[in-house]
Amino acid sequence: MKFILSLFTVTYAAIAVLFGAASVCLLGFAFLQLWHAVAPDEGAAMGSRAAQAIESIGLLAVALMALEMAQTVMEEEVVRRVHVSAPTRVRRYVSRFLVVAGVALSIESLVAVVQALHGKSEDLPRAAAVAVAAAALLAAWGIFVRFNRSAEELEPEGIPEARKEDAKVQ
């Protein structure tokens, strides 16, 4: 059984490294996109430059999400080596993911709205749908935290245990 758990830890570490590598690649793409938007020697129109700058913001949002996911997986599964079973740990783990995903989706929806307003207005309903999805995700997270909080009261020993695990990261 210990071998299998060690195998899972190695796999989680590899996934975290891949998330980090993807984040760095996306950061590079965002930098290149922004450079093309502001490069003085190109004769592109101002609207095109603005669209490229806005697209670089979208790439940065996705890069940030990938980096946060790398950090979450590394801290929760590799450093702490916790098993997500206690309500406190579940709430913290899921909350970290949902907040990062919600913020990234919110930024992406803003980028999509601005692009739709300055480009193809027929894409505006899709951009609005992404914004509604981000709002629904954050609302669902709030409901999850509310329901999970009452579950924590049934298992109060989970909170000190989670705090003890936090010392491993610090």
Q: Which amino acid is at 25?
A: C
Where residue 129 falls among pLDDT bands split at 50, 70, 90? very high
Q: Is the pLDDT of residue 162 over 60?
A: no
Q: What is the pLDDT of residue 40?
A: 74
Q: Is the pLDDT of residue 61 over 90?
A: no
Q: What is the pLDDT of residue 168?
A: 55
What's the whole-number mean pLDDT along residues 127-156? 83
Q: Is the pLDDT of residue 102 over 80?
A: yes
Contact 43, 93 (CB under 8 A): no
What's the whole-number mean pLDDT along residues 64-75? 87
Contact 165, 80 (CB under 8 A): yes
What's the whole-number mean pLDDT along residues 73-102? 74
What's the whole-number mean pLDDT along residues 25-52? 84
pTM comes to 0.69
Q: How many residues does the chain have?
A: 170
pLDDT tens figures, 5-35 = 788 889 989 999 999 999 999 999 999 999 9
For the stretch 62-79, what's the b/e string if a residue is b when 16 or more beta carbons lie within 10 angstroms of its beta carbon?
Answer: bbbbbbbbbbbbbbbbbe
Burial of 49 (0-12, 13-18, 19+ CB in 10 A): middle
Closest CA to 63 of 18, 36, 30: 30
